[in-house]
Chains A and B, each alone.
Chain A
Amino acid sequence: MACIEARGLRKAYGKTIALDGVDLRVEAGRILGLIGPNGAGKSTALQAILGLTAYQGDLRVLGRDPWNERGQLMADICFIADVAVLPRWLRVSQALDYMAGVHPRFDRAKAEGFLARTTIKSASKVRELSKGMVAQLHLALVMAVDAKLLVLDEPTLGLDLLYRKSFYDSLLNDYFDHKRTIVVSTHQVEEIQHILTDVVFLDRGRVALDCSMEDFEARYREVLAGPEQLAAARALGPIHERQLFGRGILIFDGVAHDRLAPLGEVRTPSLADLFVAVMEPRIAAGSQERAA
């Protein structure tokens, strides 16, 4: 059984279509990055997975229907929807009491252990903590839950670089154990590239790319071609080209390393560059559609 299985997932807010037939399959033990521009439907997709919003189409999460079984499902799922959802009046000690009181898989000692590494005091109220500390607190609460699926929707939005880095580091070091599944959506692609096992690009409610990181590394290559090699490189059909310091940077999909090596330095593109390469033509096509 896949951890998340969606077929033809659709959701419209009035006339705005947020999800336009999304198919998604996430196996247990994967770390999926859900990446897309604003309004691509990332949050809506995650909300549907979490049972926070109604949808059309088939969706099973851990074998359950999230919309009708949210209460039971949340015993096995954790999520951080945003950096600022912990109620401001809550004391840290109360958060621990409450989690221990309602969550069958919450390990209080573990949460206290995570908090001991921070400067957060148990008598503090959330309103007295900085934004970064609130994120640390929320992460400590979530990591102390023995969940099968962790969903993070822009968990580090608005945090400074140090907090963002330590957030993902502790997630990998203290939490991920190859049995759990993590789905994370973010704008900061470059920060999560190294932790992902799979990546999905969303564009206006549709899946623009869905591949594992192994496939990504096998399929996509970036060539730095000098002016004299540019014509030969273009003949091989790059999916994207940009100029930098007089050299062309071309991204290829499924072209063998041997054929590219003579043209210049070959390397794996960053996820952010591939994102631009995949999205730009779609955005251009979209604006042409609208103009027509």
Chain B
Amino acid sequence: MSAEPAESPVAPRKVRPFYWSVRRELWENRSIYLAPAAIAAVVLFGFLVSTFRLARSLRAAMAGVERDGLMMPYAATAFVVLATSMIVAVFYSLGALQGERRDRSILFWKSLPVSDAVTVLSKASIPLLVLPVIAFAVIVGANLIMLIWSTIVALLNGFDPRELWGRLPLAFMWLVLGISLPFLALWFAPVFAWLILVSAWARRMTILWALGPPVAVAIVERMAFGTSYVSKLLERRLSGGFTEAFSAKGQAKAPVDSIEAFDPTRLVFIADLWVGLALAALFLFAAIRLRRSRDPI
């Protein structure tokens, strides 16, 4: 081999395309963190207003009349933040690869050394990784503010705050959420991946293209064979995740209230989870291939 002069005297700088692609998504879609934070702020406001009843609830709880009343606002906060994140995830995914075609900015993004795979995976990481982390942080943050406020109110009313803390299984709820949020993200991965695939393909009305084919297949199956395997599959995918995560042993009979009932190792061995992940990988692969040939709309 002949000694060739170095092509460029300056070594190319180190770059992090995936990290910056995720940052880029957060710049464009600020609702990813603003929506969960805003809904948590609304709930917090409601909680602050309602604290005039806290002394009464505390008294009732100590008398053993009311068992779940104290914990209810904390769980409700978790629920609304989780629900908001799910809605944001769905709408984000539906627009993920359509928005850049609609505003023609795909021509700018494609002019940079960022592959279609990195782009699609960075977008998929929003519902699969970023939103669960944000939801968890917002829930814990809101819960802590509520706890501090309740403690102050309890002290002002002459209660021992330990009486209050002992009746709030917050650590347990955070543990359940800390495991369930990643689980749910993986459980819903095929749904988000499907929505991203539709967004790479559909020119408009992504929501119709997302819902149409599965619903049509279910109806055709019902009419042609009188069976409903497809609709059962869809129902399992859409509601099964919550049942598995939040009911005791995934039996849909009682809510999780102890670590034995939660049994996190069980979640890993749910076959449907892995089938769904395989499907999600397939959808994302198709979305990467599609993005390569897509033009601005």
Instruction: Return chain A residues, CB-CB under 8 Å to B293.
Output: 53-54
Q: A98-B23, A101-B16, A102-B15 are in contact. Are A85 and B108 (CB under 8 A)?
A: yes
Interface size on B, residues (CB 8 A): 34
Interface residues of A, Cβ cutoff 8 Å to B: 50, 52-54, 67, 70-75, 77-82, 84-91, 94, 97-106, 138, 146
Instruction: Return chain B residues, CB-CB under 8 Å to A78.
Output: 111
Instruction: Return chain B residues, CB-CB under 8 Å to A103.
Output: 15, 112-113
Chain B 179-208 interface residues, beta-carbon cutoff 8 Å to A = none
Q: Complex: how many Å from CA A94 to CA B16?
A: 15
Q: Does any Cβ of A come within 8 Å of B266's Cβ?
A: no
Q: Are B113 and A87 in contact (CB under 8 A)?
A: no
Binds A, one of B62-70, B99-107, B215-223: B99-107
Chain B 11-28 interface residues, beta-carbon cutoff 8 Å to A = 12-17, 19-21, 23-24, 27-28
Smallest beta-carbon distance A12→chain B, Å: 14
Smallest beta-carbon distance B256→chain A, Å: 41
Instruction: Return chain B residues, CB-CB under 8 Å to A74.
Output: 110-114
Instruction: Return chain A residues, CB-CB under 8 Å to B19.
Output: 101
Q: A53-B293, A89-B28 are in contact. Are A71 and B116 (CB under 8 A)?
A: yes
Q: Does any Cβ of A come within 8 Å of B10's Cβ?
A: yes
Q: Complex: how many Å from CA A146 to CA B113?
A: 13
For the complex of A and B, list the 10 residue pairs with the smallest distance between their C-beta atoms, beginning with the closest.
A71-B115, A101-B20, A104-B12, A87-B105, A81-B107, A74-B113, A75-B113, A85-B107, A85-B108, A102-B17
Q: Are A85 and B105 in contact (CB under 8 A)?
A: yes
27 contacts between A and B (CB under 8 A): A50-B110, A52-B295, A53-B295, A70-B110, A71-B116, A74-B110, A74-B114, A77-B111, A85-B104, A85-B107, A86-B108, A87-B108, A89-B28, A90-B27, A91-B27, A94-B27, A98-B20, A98-B23, A98-B24, A100-B13, A102-B15, A102-B16, A102-B20, A102-B21, A102-B114, A104-B14, A138-B108
Smallest beta-carbon distance A194→chain B, Å: 26
Q: Does any Cβ of A come within 8 Å of B239's Cβ?
A: no
Q: Are A104 and B113 in contact (CB under 8 A)?
A: yes
Q: Does any Cβ of A come within 8 Å of B2's Cβ?
A: no
